[in-house]
Structure 1
Amino acid sequence: MNIARWLYQTALARPDAPAIRLGTEQVADYAAFAGASAALARHLATGQGVGQGDRVAIFCRNSVEYLPVLQAIFWIGAIAVPINSKLHPREAAWIIADAGASAVFTEAGGVFETSGELGIPCPEIALSDPPVAGLLSFGPAAAAPLPAPAAVAGDDVAWLFYTSGTTGRPKGVMLTHGNLAAMATCYALDVDAVLADDHPLYAAPMSHGAGLYHLQFTRAGACHVIPASRGFDPSEIRALAQALGNLVFFAAPTMVKRLIAASGAAGYQGAGIRTIIYGGGPMYAADIDEALALYGPRFVQIYGQGESPMTITVLPRDLVADRSHPQADRRRASVGFAHAAVEVRVVNDAMRDVSAGEVGEIIVSGAPVMKGYWRNEDATAKTLVNGWLRTGDLGTMDADGFVTLTDRSRDVIISGGSNIYPREVEEALLNHADVFEVSVIGVPSAEWGEDVMAFVVLRDGADRSRDDLDAWCRARIASFKKPRHYRFVESLPKNSYGKVLKTSLRDRAATGRDAAP
């Protein structure tokens, strides 16, 4: 089944339902949304020669045109290659060439004229060019019947998701129409109800998790909201929530932290926000407690990877907010239990289950798990083993099935022969009232193999020394785990969806930048 049939059916059943807003202004109903997608699909097929299975890249910021472009690619059975708009054009060009794309959408054209050769014949299609701009103008739907999307198999690839590439060249994750349908179905079963009067907001990049999540809302006939800023702005989110109501959105933990800080300063307690789904990085206990205290039970946690998009585990809103269960605090610090369509295990190096509470690698199997890596059989064979996706994430599972992440396997610090999990140290430091953000890495040590180094962002007006933080850690965690080095910085380097870039911190540590006095 072609995932574009969800838009097709909604347009037939609810043609007049509001579909897309720019800020508070409606720009399309579902007849116009589907009509624009189908018209652009026809243009791609007849004007650009794009056929079923061909790859079409999207290198654009969030916009009202983004979803129709994505759906147009699905409509003809081609494969969408959404690319993080914050990448350098040379980085995007590498992805386009690796995917063997037949075309790439950009906002105004000319992006790749000065960025070097793409290495393949690949026309750049500007959203602002008259033919495409006209097709995406959301004018009145044509009188002719809406053409049905192309027939495809469930295991045909729909979305080529390129990983962030923090440890080398990014890999193309092949997500099929069936993978996407399973992910969206899991959302409705496990994460949150999907309502026709919802306003899904795209404050995070549509090339990643936020864009993946548009599918279930399209099926329900909800109205997609693109912020006028086209990004994340706490004051804008507050205004949209109060004007529209039933705001639902995905946010990285760092975005939640910024939103709560700004809301607290403004005296805003979340009116108009129905649900915030957070994931993509660790949400520390102190941060979610602060968020719950201000906003109440509006939060759902998910854990996933590009290889199993948004669907490994889930912690529903009632369990995020629960205070009555004997294990409530521990559960809230976990990432929840397995999504409905997957099985999750924690295993040792031999892929055998470890005991409850023992640290091992998290592996997952089920309908949302990727088909494999694009044109990379070696990486696929190493990652998909006997039907199980090896996530590379370390964690524990308790007797009730709740999974708690410790760290990425590559981030574990081994000092004096003992494993130190950065998140444990980060949690301890974040409980200090003057610490706003922190990230912990390992640095080379002639004596111990590795030492713990903490990059610390203090709250405004705070003035703390390493001795203060040393004493704080010594009172809360084993002495061998506490940082031997501190760097006090104004901010932590992050990618466009809020993950702290520990590779960048390692580079800064090696060069001695941001050294504490």
Structure 2
Amino acid sequence: MNPGLLKGADALLAGDFATLSDLVRAYAEERPDHPAVIDAEGTLTYGQLDARADRVAAALQRDGAKHSVSIVSSSRNDYVTVYLGALRAGLAVAPLAPSSLPEQIVAMAQDADAEHLFLDGDNEQALRAVLAELPPRRIRLDTPQFEQWLAPEGAKPAPVETTPAMPFNIIYSSGTTGTPKGIVQSHGMRWLHMQRANLYGYDRHAVTLLSTPLYSNTTLVSLFPTLAGGGTAVLMAKFDVVKYLELAQTYRVTHTMLVPVQYQRVMAHPDFDRYDLSAFRAKFCTSAPFNAALKADILKRWPGKLTEYYGMTEGGGTCILVADEFPDKLHTVGRPAEGHDIRLIGEDGKPVKPGEIGEIVGHSGAIMTNYHKQPGKTAEAEWYDETGKRFIRTGDMGRFDADGFMQLMDRRKDMIISGGFNIYPSDLEAILKQHAAVFDVAVVGVASEQWGETPVAFVVLRPGSSVSAPELLLWANAKLGKMQRISAIEFRDALPRSAIGKVLKRELRDEYGKAAVST
């Protein structure tokens, strides 16, 4: 179709730049009664979402907000309302993880220069001891206070000219490796995510089921394209396998984003095959290592395409594996996305030779502006090639195969150096997962007087299985190289994970170290 004949949201998406606010407004005018977001309490149509976002924006301008807002809440419709309203008022949004320590939430809200804090009842109670240190304007989303704070019905904010360089949000890192850093993403970066919505079928008929939290970029890279395409987002405040499958069937869900541990739990449910999931067009996964055998099981039993993203919230470079198109590459994370330049560098900062392992660095149009107020950390995350081209360092180790597919090894910080040899925990985990009794596993390096470091495996067994730690250790080490051998196996009921499914290996390492000292 001639781009000049397009109207409304279609014309915006075909242009050089538009905002999420513009697109929601266009859909509100085109079909105001179509559901935009759905939670356990009800539905917000595009017309309602647009009007309520106007009231949020007008209230923020009335209050004199100039910088940002923070949100500490479970997923709910008005979380999206506040997000959109803040953007419409020209502010950045700093969504914060409720699972963070109260002191961390204070530090992140202060770092973001947040003038308003929106929160729900559970989190207000959890933060009671530090309320005096939080932004002075605190609004409860799940009480009449929010309705009272909103500008009157029909209110319109003063227009704000939004440019691609303006900050869209500040996403704080999980903090699993230390103090969270504020990752500043621009409107231009988010525009690239939204503009590609049609490539993945995010259209006016899309229904996306989201069960990961809204503070996570994992969730947002599916939420925003859903709204940009005029579809419907169904929000789960807390992941539950049965509830997830029921919602997917009831709403005829077409799209979803899940992290690997969620896929693992869904596929392991005994009633999985009883649910009608035939409406699915696309399933996405990111944020943590995705086992090849699990991918194969999903391809066999769950309709629709399966796409794995490998990348960082900081942006830079993304690899994409369309699993159903490359069933022989399930052990990889795919090839660099179109227009993404991904390279591997050694400890000396120079590119490694073809086929060698190196740290992954990436460049693309979707790249963070900086770490908020941390120029030193920003500089540490950057790598420049000989032409001055800016890349973001991932801290992950990988190698390209002969076909250009990326095989992840491990986080550089998780690599085990034992007796001078590099051991990649993912290799050991892959072997252990081959055992019929193993449901989940994480391998970490612990201090060793003899070797410097030695691998220890933490294993979750499948229900009803029976194998002893010595038996499993003997089985695994028989399949591993001499320098890879695991020194100990410990059973756990579950592995500690972040809210988006990343194994908290530092907790396992610290726990094991403390136990060794006490004995």
Report if the CA contact (8 A) 1:304-1:313 is conserved.
Answer: yes
SS at match of 1:375: coil
* TM-fit CA distance, 1:226: 1.9
- Call closer, same or farther: CA 1:289–1:276 in 2, change over 3 Å: same
Which residue in the other structure is 2:8 paired with? none
Number of aligned pairs?
495
* TM-fit CA distance, 1:120: 6.5
* TM-fit CA distance, 1:466: 2.9
SS at match of 2:191: helix
Report if the CA contact (8 A) 1:57-1:80 is conserved.
Answer: yes
Alignment of 1:272-291 (within 5 A): 272-291=279-298
Looking at structure 2, the residues matched to 470 and 204 of structure 1 have their Cα atoms a distance apart, in angstroms, of 34
* TM-fit CA distance, 1:476: 2.7
Report if the CA contact (8 A) 1:8-1:149 is conserved.
Answer: no
- Call closer, same or farther: CA 1:56–1:457 in 2, change over 3 Å: same
- Call closer, same or farther: CA 1:246–1:117 in 2, change over 3 Å: closer
Instruction: Give me the identity figure in percent.
Output: 28
* TM-fit CA distance, 1:473: 2.1
Report if the CA contact (8 A) 1:97-1:118 is conserved.
Answer: no
- Call closer, same or farther: CA 1:397–1:122 in 2, change over 3 Å: farther
Match for residue 153 of structure 1 among 150, 163, 171: 163
Looking at structure 2, the residues matched to 75 and 16 of structure 1 have their Cα atoms a distance apart, in angstroms, of 21
* TM-fit CA distance, 1:199: 1.1
Report if the CA contact (8 A) 2:477-2:485 is conserved.
Answer: yes
Structure 2: which amino acid aligns with 1:506? Answer: R
Match for residue 477 of structure 1 among 476, 480, 504: 480
Which residue in the other structure is 2:51 paired with? 35
Which residue in the other structure is 2:351 paired with? 353
Which residue in the other structure is 1:133 paired with? 147
Which residue in the other structure is 2:28 paired with? 11
Match for residue 98 of structure 1 among 111, 115, 139: 111
Alignment of 1:442-461 (within 5 A): 442-461=445-464
Which residue in the other structure is 1:49 paired with? 64
Report if the CA contact (8 A) 2:266-2:272 is conserved.
Answer: no
Match for residue 333 of structure 1 among 331, 334, 346: 331
- Call closer, same or farther: CA 1:505–1:204 in 2, change over 3 Å: same
Which residue in the other structure is 1:59 paired with? 72
Looking at structure 1, the residues matched to 382 and 21 of structure 2 have their Cα atoms a distance apart, in angstroms, of 28
Which residue in the other structure is 2:243 paired with? 236
- Call closer, same or farther: CA 1:337–1:253 in 2, change over 3 Å: same
Report if the CA contact (8 A) 2:102-2:127 is conserved.
Answer: no
Which residue in the other structure is 2:129 paired with? 115
Looking at structure 1, the residues matched to 118 and 300 of structure 2 have their Cα atoms a distance apart, in angstroms, of 43
Which residue in the other structure is 2:15 paired with? none
Looking at structure 1, the residues matched to 300 and 163 of structure 2 have their Cα atoms a distance apart, in angstroms, of 47
Tell me whether 430-439 or 260-269 shows the greater mean CA deviation. Answer: 260-269
* TM-fit CA distance, 1:421: 0.3
Structure having greater relative contact order (Cα 8 Å, sep ≥ 6): 1
* TM-fit CA distance, 1:380: 0.7
User: Any stretches of 5+ residues in structure 1 without a counterpart?
Assistant: none
Structure 2 residue 193 is the aligned partner of structure 1 residue 183: yes
Looking at structure 1, the residues matched to 232 and 221 of structure 2 have their Cα atoms a distance apart, in angstroms, of 15
Structure 2 residue 322 is the aligned partner of structure 1 residue 312: no
SS at match of 1:35: helix
Structure 1: which amino acid aligns with 2:515? Answer: G
Post-superposition Cα deviations, 1:369-406, rounded to whole Å, max 9, x if no partner, equal 10010000101111123211011111111233211111
* TM-fit CA distance, 1:277: 0.7
Structure 2: which amino acid aligns with 1:274? Answer: R
Which residue in the other structure is 1:87 paired with? 100
* TM-fit CA distance, 1:20: 1.9
Looking at structure 1, the residues matched to 160 and 475 of structure 2 have their Cα atoms a distance apart, in angstroms, of 61
* TM-fit CA distance, 1:268: 4.1
SS at match of 2:318: strand
Q: Which structure 1 residue ranges, 4+ long, deviate > 6 Å from structure 2?
A: none
Post-superposition Cα deviations, 1:343-381, rounded to whole Å, max 9, x if no partner, equal 111122333332332110100111111001000010111
Looking at structure 2, the residues matched to 242 and 112 of structure 1 have their Cα atoms a distance apart, in angstroms, of 35
* TM-fit CA distance, 1:242: 1.5
* TM-fit CA distance, 1:38: 1.1
Looking at structure 2, the residues matched to 354 and 282 of structure 1 have their Cα atoms a distance apart, in angstroms, of 23
Structure 2: which amino acid aligns with 1:49? Answer: G
Post-superposition Cα deviations, 1:238-281, rounded to whole Å, max 9, x if no partner, equal 11122111331111100110011115566447444332211100
Which residue in the other structure is 2:223 paired with? 214
Which residue in the other structure is 2:213 paired with? 205
Report if the CA contact (8 A) 1:413-1:419 is conserved.
Answer: yes
Alignment of 1:372-391 (within 5 A): 372-386=370-384, 387-391=390-394
- Call closer, same or farther: CA 1:403–1:177 in 2, change over 3 Å: same
Looking at structure 2, the residues matched to 119 and 356 of structure 1 have their Cα atoms a distance apart, in angstroms, of 52
- Call closer, same or farther: CA 1:231–1:117 in 2, change over 3 Å: closer
Structure 1: which amino acid aligns with 2:65? Answer: V
SS at match of 1:497: coil
Which residue in the other structure is 1:371 paired with? 369
Report if the CA contact (8 A) 1:90-1:115 is conserved.
Answer: no
Report if the CA contact (8 A) 2:110-2:135 is conserved.
Answer: no
Structure 2: which amino acid aligns with 1:31? Answer: G
TM-score in terms of structure 2 length = 0.89
Looking at structure 1, the residues matched to 488 and 54 of structure 2 have their Cα atoms a distance apart, in angstroms, of 57
- Call closer, same or farther: CA 1:449–1:98 in 2, change over 3 Å: same
Looking at structure 2, the residues matched to 98 and 219 of structure 1 have their Cα atoms a distance apart, in angstroms, of 29
- Call closer, same or farther: CA 1:332–1:121 in 2, change over 3 Å: closer
Structure 1: which amino acid aligns with 2:129? Answer: S
- Call closer, same or farther: CA 1:431–1:269 in 2, change over 3 Å: farther
Post-superposition Cα deviations, 1:23-57, rounded to whole Å, max 9, x if no partner, equal 5x8522111111111111101110x2113xx0110
- Call closer, same or farther: CA 1:136–1:21 in 2, change over 3 Å: farther
